[in-house]
Amino acid sequence: MSDVLWRKPSAEFFPMVRDALLKRMEESVHKHEKVPCRIKGCLNGIAICRKLNSVAELKGEIQARRPEGDHLDKKMVSVAQASTLEDFGGAYADYWMYRCASAQIEWAYEVLRLGFDDQISGEPFSARAMLMLKKVLSDVKGA
Helix (H, G, I), strand (E, B) or coil at 108: helix
Q: List the chain pLDDT tens, one digit each, 143 residues.
A: 344 445 667 778 899 999 999 999 999 999 999 999 999 999 999 999 999 999 999 999 999 999 998 888 877 777 666 555 555 667 788 889 999 999 999 999 999 998 888 666 667 888 999 999 999 999 997 65
pLDDT at position 81: 62
Looking at residue 83, its pLDDT comes to 52
Q: Report CA dihedral (53, 31, 101, 78) to the nearest 10 degrees.
A: -170
HEC readout, 18-84: HHHHHHHHHHHHHHHCCCHHHHHHHHHHHHHHHCCCCHHHHHHHHHHHHHHHHHHHHHHHHHCCCCC
**pLDDT value of residue 104:** 98
Domain ranges of the chain: 11-139
**Which phi and psi (to 5°) does residue 126 adopt?**
-95, 145
pLDDT confidence of residue 117:
81
Query: What pLDDT does residue 143 have?
Result: 57
Could you give the CA distance from residue 112 to residue 20 in angstroms, rounded to a whole number?
11
Angle subtended at Cα 53 by Cα 113 and Cα 130, rounded to the nearest 5 degrees: 20
Count of Cβ atoms closer than 10 Å to residue 41 Cβ: 25
